[in-house]
Structure 1
Amino acid sequence: MDQNSSVLQGTLEVSQEQPQSEESKSLVRNQCVNILLALLGFFHIGSIAWLLLYSQMSLTNQDSPTCLSPACKGVAGRFSAALDPFSRPCDYFKFTCASKASITSRGRQRGKFIFHNRTREQEHRRRSINKEEMLRLARDSDSEEKQNEPFERLPDRQTALLQAIKEILESPVVGVSVNSVEHKARRFYKTCMDPIAAESVSSERFITLIEQLGGWSVSRNWTEPDFNATLVLLMEQYDTFPFFNVYVGPDHRANQPNSSQHYIQIDQPEFQFTVDWNNKKHKYQSNPQSWRSFYLFCKKLLELFDVPSFDITLLCGQYLSLCSTLVIATSPLEYRLSQKLLYHRVTIQELQMLAPAIDWLRCLKATLHPVPVSQSDFVLLHNLPYLTHMSKIVSEWKLKPDTMKSGPLHMYMVLTLLHSLIHTLDSKFTQTLKNISNAIGVEDVPRWRDCVLQTIKGFDNWLSHAIKENYALKEAEELMHDIYSSFESKVANMSWRDEETRDIILNKVKSLTPKLSSSTKLIDQLKFWKQHYAEVVVSEKDYFANYLQLLALHQKRRSSIFFHTEQPDWLSVSPFLSGNDIIIPVGMFVLPVFHPSYPRAINYGMLGSLIAKDLFHLLLPEILAQSESPSLESACVWSHYLSRSKAPRRLANFSLPSPQQKEVWMQYSALQVALQSYTKSLQRHSIDTSVSGLSHIHLFLSSFIQASCDSEPYRVSMPFEPSFLVSVLCETSDICPKPLICLDRSQGRLPDWC
């Protein structure tokens, strides 16, 4: 029993018994006074701590030198009034991450909940509203209330990384040997971007390549080559996988004792057209518009090779028929996870019995040469139902009498190779690809982005090293350790359901070591690859030949993974686990979310909050089942939102579903962790620079609002824009430079337990 309970029990006993002596009454009074004094003392100490923190973080602009670096000048324009939570406190809940052009399409606007006159049917439907509709009402608001100025939204992480690599590849370089990896990477990128080099590659180059594969059915005196022989050539020399995908990696299932051991992994392939997933039938279904567009795309490609129109109709019809038959057995990753279709372990010999149409041992030996592969080796399958279905379809098409002369299986493999090489051909082909992308609603990929992605395929180790040299310096290490330390503190101070769970989670968090992926292993990898890069001769005017060399290099990279205990994804854009390390990739430390010259308030507010959010998702996926804190804290944040926005009255008693509770807590906790980390940084280095004349905490919070618009899959679970969390933080602490008070709005009363 605690001290307060003892006092309460003692008081009750005194009231029920005969009058006690003055000495006993005095003793009870003294105990009560001591408790009150202790509480006041704790409150006083806490107030002093907050005042000290406030005074430290709210340094005047006169004490904060303005950052004048090119990076700071570039980021200054992002802090518009739309990002300032203190410029219009009455409108803070209306903030939207959508850009001006995408507001209507995203439907993520903020404001009052306005209901117009309804019919009887509409009113009945309103009364039977479900949870999803309730959340939609909480999220969406009338567009006429939205008054925020548009601002430049941050690029998604992948785009930011590619833009940083683009700058590195295009930057001038002095004193670099023409035989160095750096020079070859830059030259490869330059020929990819060179329109003159691309125009020199006509259809004849690809036809020559086809002849090396045995030709195709539109050639004279054509005899269809052996199916598995062609498949082996495509996989070994051209890194092309028409019927399935092959890569190498560890077994990521939980509680695997040999998680560092690498296995051959076989997955479903990627298709070049769009299909729709039916959640009720758990199957892909055809998209008529996509099929029509892709059929016309096939016809146009064959016309560019001067194939007769009669043959075009037949070949494209067979091609799409085979595609549609194969794709119905594929399934999205989320469904395969739910059905436990990933990491199905079998031997190659067992796989041969399950899917006999493919010569698996021959194909895998060619793909992974010089790695020795035998029938008894284990492979990990990620969609066994698809592989058995694919084998059955291949066997059936081999025996179709009406397809013997046209060779549809061979044609399918040739067109798959063409699609992977189409960006290396002249503008007639690239324009055809662009037209099909527009027709089926797929965003056209800019040339620079495609060229950067292709360069990464062959030179990712050097590019990771270059990013580390340009961005991830000691400031990155410091931020990473501060964030993880604050994350540990947050986890340790939570209310857990039982001591055993608490110990398991804390031990898990404390056992991991945060590391930048720019470790010495990266340098070792780069040294290892120099001998392979030495064999690559990059032409200044022949991108087609350069790309074929890159495909061969990529095949060697795949086989080399077996010779190393680790092969982290150096250019990932989110943290991941690798043994007892938690890897923070250097690909996260790029503009505009991070730069060594930024004020630390920006670095911690933007990238710090993103890393913290990733850590919660990565390490605490089942948090609601393990701790009571998330549901209580998210309920309090939700109460803040309902009391500050004019939500429908019936939402007052509406509690968030579990996924929303979890996401609200994680994002609010990420803000708290990032702020605590920045506080630690200020304690070590009291001076920080400023941008746009903002105080440190002002700059930190505005930076968090920018980062809260980061495009993440789990952001969809938020019932409101994450920027609202700033107002919750300001209302529950004295940390903000001025209060977020709206005088012209009657605000609801929060629950006492908040």
Structure 2
Amino acid sequence: MSEIPTQLELDISVQATSQPESEGQLQPPPPLSHPPEPQHQQNQLHPELQLSESTPEYQHQAKSLLITYRRPLLLLLGFSLCAAIGGVIYCVHQNLQNRRNNLADTESPCVSSPCQKASARLTMSVDPFKQPCDYFVFTCEADRFSADIGGRQRGQGIPGHPQNQNVKGVWPERGESTIVREDRGLTEEKILDRKTTLLRYLREILESNDRHGGTAVQKARGFYDSCLDTKSIETVGAEPFLTLIQKLGGWAVSGQWNQTDFNATLSLLMRDYNAFPFFNLYVGKDPNETLHGMSKRYIQIDQPDLLIPIEWNSKMQKSHAKTQTLRPFLASCEKYLELLGTPSRSTMIHAGMFIALSSELAVAAAPLHYRLSKGQLYHRMTIKQLQSQAPAIDWLGCLQAVFHPLNLTENDHVFLHNLPYIVQMSRIIIKWLNRQEFRLSGPLHTFMFLNLMHTLMPALDSRFSETAVNLSVSLGNTAVVAPRWKHCVLETERGFDSVLTALISHKTAYQEAEEIIENIFSSFKSKLNALSWTDQKIRQLILKRIQPLKPKLWTPKEKPSEAELDLLFSEVTVTTGSFFSNYIQLLSLWQKRRTKFLTQQAEAPDILSVTPFLQGDELLFPMGMFISPLFHPTYPRAMNYGMLGFLMAKDILHMLLPDIHSHSEMVHTVGECVWAHYLTVAENAERGVFSLSAVQQQEVWVQYSALQIALQAYHQSLAKHPKDTSISGLSHTRLFLTSFSQLKCDSDPYREFMPLEPSFLITVICATSDLCPASLQCPKKSQQYSLQAC
């Protein structure tokens, strides 16, 4: 203040003396007995100035007062100016902060039914801005309910095969445990696992009271209802299966067998019941042709899923039945035969022959890694050549039965994925057919019918599935089987996939889905361009592969009308209270779909798919991703981007940058930076885990980058459409981050490499950003650390 110019100082002094008494806090001048008459307006407004000019004594007194109070006046004015400037800065900051976080003061709330349900979920969930420490308490492993969806075809393990997801189904795979638990409803509601979410969405469609729609829709719902009717299934027991066996010519186990032809019975089982006891059949492409843009599909022949537990001897390079499992496996075979009414005196004989035949076939089987190393996959040959190599099977007759009405010839090509097994299988079958002592006992038919029983087990009463569970438990396996409704949704989809595809397609919000796809992929490419690379040649190769990609929603090429669907399912008769007969028809529908798949050029949308995939130069996003509660057209966009947007970005990063940790130091830097944030507050910081492995660093980088990509994409959306709605009084960035925090346990193959809960990433972003409405501090830690931005 000492450096204020003299003229400004004088002006301030004059202005200060002109203030009212209450503001200037100066003593009033002594009163005059005869005040002068006002001459003009200026004198009326400034009587003090007039007096100071006309009265020397008063002028001297005023000057003394100015000198005395000048410094306090200047200090007061300085403080006032600082306060005013500070107030302006505060107001501007608060305005910007409110605009960034948009606490829904100016946003209209979303009142749709999906938004109301979302609001209820947010109310019951932990608020990351009020309880940040809870990120470290929650773990997925303890409460996770497995919702993995089974493969689309039998015959597993061939790389590149579109149906080879190699994941567990709702009913047990051979040799796997299935401890039934149906008391996890509350846990399921807490976890937004994509697969479980999709199944629940399909369940809502099938259980809808909406009776509109054609006969095909009603048949799908009727099939689903009959699957849920476990009371009727338990009442009829094994009788429907025994009736079916007699229809197929009987078997020696019951003493009634008309010695039907081996190949004739095998063809019937494969054509009408989707049972493949000696080998597997499915449809797929030639990988060499795929590289050149060809899309023709071929019949693929693989080793079967044997019922007997087997293991691989790496020294002998052969498989064999597990010795320690033979006793419990024998017990389970005897139990199955008992449930099927086999006389006790012949149970041991037939079970023993079944195990002996299974053991011989097991020796010829080989695991995938061995077949890969020996080049045994995708062995092309004609059906005629295959017949000469494995003459026990009538290959042309069996394949014509399965793929009817296609006109197959012996010159058509097929692919073998374990030719040595197929050759050895043929020798084993010929040997058992020629053994006279087994002529009346029919061990090959027993083998086929027990495999048929396992195929039809979902439609049999619970005693059969309980026997499978007991075997699995005795083998030391542990797993969980989904509740009945999930099983019924999956079985309904197997036969009525085109009906459900049409229903979900009708409900898909195409415009909103395509917008989020476009914004997420655009934000991903921005992230890619900003990434630092250790090798510019690698960078160019990756960019060259990614730049031409066209992201789009995966929808049916042709959308059948209601009348076309009704015609397609016109021969299907769904009977109330008879799930077994309904299930038989489902298997026939499944066979027809396999035949159609062999001839069609374009991939039909897989309604159970929940992750994007590449097809040529297209990056396709399935319709099953864009469902509530992960996505809804009436949601605030902040919620859609915070949940589904993050998942989409994570999937893209995993798919297109699988080895990014070896091409960019940023992966290591960001991974360790996030981990440093975590160690400052996490409870396990004292356990000695102070660094991450390369795969853990990459997964942390992927998920942190996915959150940044989704947030940037949301801001891009806001730039185009500034208005957004709110939920639970939250909107924009806060709703985005709060919605993201709901994704605690999404199931993907990389989950095991994530060393911390994904919702902790909110803390990392908020620690060095002004986007968040409040700084996230964990009160459980006495000391908070100032960390750098990641």
TMscore range, shorter length: 0.7 to 0.9
Change in Cα spacing, 1:54 to 1:419, as seen in structure 2 (3 Å) is farther
Which of 460, 468, 478 lines up with 2:515 in the alignment? 478
**Matches of 1:706 and 1:390, distance apart in 2:** 52
Are 1:203 and 2:203 counterparts? Answer: no
Q: Is the 8 A contact 1:465 1:518 kept in 2?
A: no
Change in Cα spacing, 1:649 to 1:461, as seen in structure 2 (3 Å) is closer
SS in structure 2 opposite 1:574? Answer: coil
- Higher-Rg structure is 2
Q: Quote the offset at 1:712 in angstroms.
A: 1.6
Are 1:630 and 2:667 counterparts? Answer: yes
Q: Is the 8 A contact 1:575 1:614 kept in 2?
A: yes
Change in Cα spacing, 1:673 to 1:290, as seen in structure 2 (3 Å) is farther
Q: Is the 8 A contact 2:192 2:630 kept in 1?
A: no
Which of 667, 676, 692 lines up with 2:712 in the alignment? 676
Are 1:260 and 2:295 counterparts? Answer: yes
SS in structure 1 opposite 2:190? Answer: coil
Equivalent positions of 1:453-602 (< 5 A) are 453-519=490-556, 521-524=557-560, 531-571=567-607, 572-602=609-639
Amino acid at match of 1:716: E
**Matches of 1:276 and 1:270, distance apart in 2:** 13
Name the residue aligned to 2:35: none
**Matches of 2:95 and 2:304, distance apart in 1:** 58
Change in Cα spacing, 1:438 to 1:184, as seen in structure 2 (3 Å) is farther
SS in structure 2 opposite 1:63? Answer: coil
Change in Cα spacing, 1:649 to 1:238, as seen in structure 2 (3 Å) is closer
Amino acid at match of 2:444: L
Change in Cα spacing, 1:150 to 1:547, as seen in structure 2 (3 Å) is closer
Change in Cα spacing, 1:291 to 1:220, as seen in structure 2 (3 Å) is closer
Amino acid at match of 1:205: P
**Matches of 1:526 and 1:241, distance apart in 2:** 34
SS in structure 1 opposite 2:522? Answer: helix
Name the residue aligned to 1:115: none
**Matches of 2:94 and 2:313, distance apart in 1:** 56
Q: Deviations over 1:158-200 (max 9, x none)?
A: 22222111111111224434xx321221222222223465356
Q: Quote the offset at 1:224 in angstroms.
A: 4.1
Q: Is the 8 A contact 1:268 1:382 kept in 2?
A: yes
Name the residue aligned to 1:621: 658
Q: Quote the offset at 1:512 in angstroms.
A: 2.1
**Matches of 1:422 and 1:558, distance apart in 2:** 21
User: Which stretch shifts more, 248-257 or 237-246?
Assistant: 248-257
Change in Cα spacing, 1:470 to 1:221, as seen in structure 2 (3 Å) is closer
Change in Cα spacing, 1:172 to 1:564, as seen in structure 2 (3 Å) is same
Q: Is the 8 A contact 2:392 2:429 kept in 1?
A: yes
Are 1:212 and 2:247 counterparts? Answer: yes
Q: Deviations over 1:185-216 (max 9, x none)?
A: 12222222234653564534323321333321
Amino acid at match of 2:667: P
Name the residue aligned to 2:112: 69
Change in Cα spacing, 1:152 to 1:446, as seen in structure 2 (3 Å) is closer
**Matches of 1:89 and 1:436, distance apart in 2:** 45
SS in structure 2 opposite 1:379? Answer: strand
Which of 467, 481, 485 lines up with 1:448 in the alignment? 485
Name the residue aligned to 1:316: 351
Change in Cα spacing, 1:331 to 1:649, as seen in structure 2 (3 Å) is same
**Matches of 1:689 and 1:363, distance apart in 2:** 60
Amino acid at match of 2:651: D
**Matches of 2:229 and 2:340, distance apart in 1:** 24
Q: Deviations over 1:575-598 (max 9, x none)?
A: 122232222111122233222232
Amino acid at match of 1:670: A
Q: Quote the offset at 1:297 in angstroms.
A: 3.5
**Matches of 2:373 and 2:651, distance apart in 1:** 22
Name the residue aligned to 1:664: 700
Are 1:231 and 2:266 counterparts? Answer: yes
**Matches of 1:367 and 1:51, distance apart in 2:** 71
Which of 244, 257, 278 lines up with 2:279 in the alignment? 244
Change in Cα spacing, 1:316 to 1:175, as seen in structure 2 (3 Å) is same
Amino acid at match of 1:162: L
Amino acid at match of 1:482: N
Aligned residues between the structures? 655
**Matches of 1:335 and 1:53, distance apart in 2:** 62
**Matches of 2:312 and 2:758, distance apart in 1:** 30
Q: Quote the offset at 1:463 in angstroms.
A: 0.5
* Structure 1 unaligned regions, length at least 5: 1-49, 103-148
**Matches of 1:160 and 1:152, distance apart in 2:** 9
Q: Quote the offset at 1:714 in angstroms.
A: 0.9
Amino acid at match of 1:647: A
SS in structure 1 opposite 2:275? Answer: coil
Equivalent positions of 1:126-137 (< 5 A) are none
Q: Quote the offset at 1:265 in angstroms.
A: 2.0
**Matches of 1:51 and 1:328, distance apart in 2:** 74
Q: Is the 8 A contact 2:224 2:492 kept in 1?
A: yes
Task: Among all aligned residue pairs of Structure 1 and Structure 2, give the percentage whose two residues are the same amino acid.
Answer: 46
**Matches of 1:406 and 1:455, distance apart in 2:** 37
SS in structure 2 opposite 1:298? Answer: helix
Name the residue aligned to 1:38: none
Q: Quote the offset at 1:565 in angstroms.
A: 1.1
Q: Is the 8 A contact 2:523 2:713 kept in 1?
A: yes
**Matches of 1:568 and 1:581, distance apart in 2:** 15
Name the residue aligned to 2:3: none
**Matches of 1:233 and 1:278, distance apart in 2:** 35
Change in Cα spacing, 1:728 to 1:384, as seen in structure 2 (3 Å) is farther
SS in structure 1 opposite 2:619? Answer: strand
Q: Deviations over 1:42-90 (max 9, x none)?
A: xxxxxxxx99996544001322333333323333343368643332345
Change in Cα spacing, 1:613 to 1:285, as seen in structure 2 (3 Å) is farther
**Matches of 1:461 and 1:508, distance apart in 2:** 33
Amino acid at match of 1:203: A
User: Which stretch shifts more, 679-688 or 523-532?
Assistant: 523-532
Name the residue aligned to 1:367: 402
Which of 203, 221, 227 lines up with 1:186 in the alignment? 221
Name the residue aligned to 2:8: none
User: Which stretch shifts more, 256-265 or 467-476?
Assistant: 467-476
Amino acid at match of 1:729: I
Are 1:410 and 2:445 counterparts? Answer: yes
User: Which stretch shifts more, 159-168 or 376-385?
Assistant: 376-385
Change in Cα spacing, 1:563 to 1:232, as seen in structure 2 (3 Å) is same
Q: Is the 8 A contact 1:78 1:151 kept in 2?
A: no
Which of 139, 151, 168 lines up with 1:96 in the alignment? 139
**Matches of 1:340 and 1:617, distance apart in 2:** 28
Amino acid at match of 1:257: H
Which of 661, 681, 691 lines up with 2:727 in the alignment? 691
Which of 229, 246, 257 lines up with 1:222 in the alignment? 257
Name the residue aligned to 1:647: 685
SS in structure 2 opposite 1:719? Answer: coil
Change in Cα spacing, 1:237 to 1:255, as seen in structure 2 (3 Å) is closer
Amino acid at match of 1:64: E
**Matches of 1:592 and 1:441, distance apart in 2:** 30
**Matches of 1:692 and 1:393, distance apart in 2:** 68
**Matches of 1:602 and 1:637, distance apart in 2:** 24
User: Which stretch shifts more, 165-174 or 204-213?
Assistant: 204-213
